């Protein structure tokens, strides 16, 4: 269930893609911190960046679109140094500026021809807003070597706006990634639509007047040094290999060329992979998982030429990162989902946290070995499994509580039952000031000596059936039934604001219920009318469990309990139905007007106690 929910929720909200992206970035930082950047590079050629920066533009006094002559001279200087491959990550204009500056295109053509003759050159093909390629003027196209010298510098952008992957087929990538992200702000850049063009519309040589299938720019440069196969399949870019890039300013290359510094140029570019591109602050910037430009602040968008340079660094070395085998993904998914089987809620959460840490460590190790193990779906499945198991446990606990409530509801008072269901009670007991009601039937024991036991039981059940709901309604907790006597606690196990008021109200209702029972149920049954004596007291007692581990009762112990029992005994000999201590009477919010102060009265087995007496008005006959 956790696996199914993880897949449904993750793909619906792109949660899995976003989580995997964040985990990929974290793995990049971990592996880069543990790996020697220089030791991770191959011993062969390295990627050297020639950057068009603001200082170079200011020195030339030309806009970017008319930088033909400086670019041509720089290409000639780089070609003369003997590079392994040359890539120009600067799109050529779609229109010629020859009519504005005569000879402008000629300078650039000379540089293109020199680079083509020395090591071959690959150039970026730009696209317009509709996804159609911007074909450069025919002379520049021919000087570069035709359509096969051009490539697309487009990369799939993930939902969070970060570039992490490379795909050699832009058209296939448009279908592969185009619907992966539901956020319209972060659509992949693969929007190129390449169409069959009529010969009269094409400005390509006749040999290129076929379907315009344009490869990627990085793959074209990799072909120059025999590593095109490393970029033949889609994969994740390995950002963990190599130190941050620096660049050689275009102005420095032109200055060395003017000084005929052939040795210096050869030291910079001889046998290397040279990329010429823009490092301007607001042109062609991308968000990357790692800071690969040494001159930029960490966390800022980085020049697109940096991304191409890292892809070429991968091609010259260990290649792109490949997805881990499906069996490994499924094993991780099953392991995470099985956390829901762990017994114990806290243990499951600790197991989930530990498994997340292990999954990240495993994914980082696999990342360092050249594979990508995306743990997002597995981690989400583990979390959902833990939450689902917790929900099932809660439902089972709720069902068990309801079963106990139904089973024990007739044996325990509601407040005590709720306290037991919430958790174990304090077996050591709790001191608290409560009100106590002790009620007993007058003469019932004498009558029951000669009465049929079944009639006695039926009478008591009818009596308790009448008074029990009334006592519970006032918040009373029945301590126990003692034959025809009953002890009720007010203020335990739950504290009450006015326990004496509640106890007195319960006594009044109890007397009314007995009067109604005498009139409606006992008449004609051969049972004498019931008369009740009630003792009320207030004081500090100890409430809690009494007994052994095998059998215990929740009860109250203290002098106030004994006083309540003795008062109901004394009431049988006094002209009062209810006797209460003076301390109890003083705590009544509204004492009855006919309450009588009887002074101190002796109690059996107890010192005298100040007592008040009350008899309710006689009911209608």
More reliable by pLDDT, 220 or 574 = 220
Q: What percent of the chain has pLDDT over 70?
A: 84
**Alpha carbon distance 84, 171 (integer Å):** 29
Residue 522 has pLDDT above 80, yes or no: no
The pLDDT value recorded for residue 121 is 92
Contacts of residues 41-45 at CB distance under 8 Å and 24 or more positions apart, as own/partner, are 41/241, 41/242, 41/313, 41/317, 42/316, 42/317, 42/318, 44/316, 45/84, 45/225, 45/271, 45/272, 45/273, 45/316
């308790």: which residue's tokens?
A: 464
Nearest by Cα to 165 from 277, 360, 176, 294 = 176
Residue 552 has pLDDT above 80, yes or no: no
Q: Residue 293 pairs with which residues in a beta bridge? A: 245
Residue 596 CB neighbour total at 10 angstroms = 14
Tokens for 583, please give them.
Answer: 């301390």
Output the pTM of the full model: 0.65
Q: What is the DSSP-derived secondary structure letter of residue 125?
A: P
Residues 6+ apart with CB under 8 A from 254: 56, 70, 73, 74, 77
Residues 370-385: b if buried by 16+ CB within 10 A, e if exposed = bbbbbbbbbbbbbbbb
Mean pLDDT of all residues in 442-447? 86
Residue 187 has pLDDT above 50, yes or no: no
Q: What is the DSSP-derived secondary structure letter of residue 185?
A: G
* Span 234-262, pLDDT tens digits: 999 999 988 899 999 999 999 999 999 99
* Span 337-377, pLDDT tens digits: 888 888 888 888 999 999 999 999 999 999 999 999 988 88
């109604």: which residue's tokens?
A: 516
- Report the mean per-residue pLDDT for the chain: 83
What are the C-alpha distances in Å from 149 to residues 61, 176, 256, 493?
Answer: 29, 26, 27, 87
Tokens for 429, please give them.
Answer: 């007991």
């Amino acid at each position: 269930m956790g696996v199914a929910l993880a897949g449904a929720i993750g793909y619906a909200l792109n949660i899995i893609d976003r989580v995997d992206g964040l985990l990929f970035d974290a793995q990049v930082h971990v592996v880069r911190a543990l790996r020697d950047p220089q030791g991770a590079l191959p011993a062969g050629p390295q990627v050297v960046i020639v950057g068009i920066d603001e200082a170079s533009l200011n020195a030339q006094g030309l806009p970017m679109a008319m930088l033909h002559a400086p670019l041509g001279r720089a290409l000639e200087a780089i070609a003369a140094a003997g590079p392994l491959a040359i890539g120009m990550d600067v799109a050529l204009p779609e229109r010629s500026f020859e009519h504005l500056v005569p000879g402008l295109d000629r300078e650039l053509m000379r540089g293109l021809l020199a680079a083509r003759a020395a090591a071959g050159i690959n150039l970026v093909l730009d696209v317009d807003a509709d996804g159609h390629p911007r074909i450069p003027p025919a002379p520049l196209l021919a000087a570069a070597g035709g359509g096969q010298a051009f490539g697309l510098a487009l990369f799939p952008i993930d939902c969070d706006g970060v570039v992490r992957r490379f795909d050699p087929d832009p058209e296939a990538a448009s279908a592969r990634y185009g619907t992966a992200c539901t956020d319209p702000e972060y659509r992949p850049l693969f929007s190129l639509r390449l169409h069959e063009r009529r010969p009269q519309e094409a400005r390509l040589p006749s040999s290129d007047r076929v379907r315009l299938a344009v490869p990627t720019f990085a793959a074209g440069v990799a072909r120059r040094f025999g590593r095109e196969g490393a970029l033949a399949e889609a994969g994740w870019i390995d950002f963990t290999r190599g130190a941050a890039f620096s660049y050689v300013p275009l102005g420095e290359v032109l200055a060395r060329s003017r000084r005929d510094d052939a040795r210096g140029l050869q030291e910079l570019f001889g046998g290397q992979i040279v990329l010429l591109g823009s490092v301007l602050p607001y042109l062609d910037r991308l968000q990357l998982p790692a800071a690969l430009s040494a001159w930029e602040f960490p966390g800022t968008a980085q020049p697109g030429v940096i991304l191409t340079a890292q892809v070429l660094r991968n091609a010259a070395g260990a290649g792109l990162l490949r997805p881990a085998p499906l069996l490994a993904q499924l094993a991780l998914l099953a392991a995470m989902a099985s956390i829901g089987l762990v017994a114990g809620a806290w243990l499951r959460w600790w197991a989930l946290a530990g498994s997340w840490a292990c999954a990240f460590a495993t994914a980082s190790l696999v990342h360092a070995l050249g594979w990508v193990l995306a743990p997002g779906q597995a981690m989400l499945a583990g979390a959902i499994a833990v939450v689902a198991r917790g929900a099932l446990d809660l439902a089972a606990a709720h069902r068990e509580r309801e079963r106990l409530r139904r089973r024990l509801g007739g044996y325990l008072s509601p407040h005590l039952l709720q306290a037991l269901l919430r958790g174990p009670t304090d077996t050591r007991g709790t001191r608290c000031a409560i009100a106590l009601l002790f009620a007993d039937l007058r003469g019932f024991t004498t009558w029951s000596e000669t009465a049929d036991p079944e009639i006695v039981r039926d009478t008591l059940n009818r009596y308790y059936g009448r008074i029990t709901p009334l006592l519970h309604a006032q918040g009373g907790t029945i301590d126990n039934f003692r034959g025809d006597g009953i002890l009720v606690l007010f203020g335990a196990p739950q504290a009450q604001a006015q326990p004496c008021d509640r106890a007195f109200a319960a006594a009044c209702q109890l007397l009314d219920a007995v009067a109604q029972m005498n009139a409606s149920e006992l008449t004609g049954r051969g049972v004498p009318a019931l008369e009740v004596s009630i003792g009320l007291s207030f004081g500090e007692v100890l409430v809690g469990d009494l007994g052994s581990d095998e059998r215990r009762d929740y009860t109250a112990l203290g002098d106030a309990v004994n006083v309540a029992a003795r008062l109901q005994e004394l009431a049988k000999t006094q002209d009062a139905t209810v006797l209460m201590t003076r301390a109890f009477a003083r705590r009544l919010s509204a004492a009855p007007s006919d309450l009588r102060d009887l002074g101190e009265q002796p109690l059996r087995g107890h010192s005298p106690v100040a007592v008040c007496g009350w008899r309710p008005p006689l009911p209608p006959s």
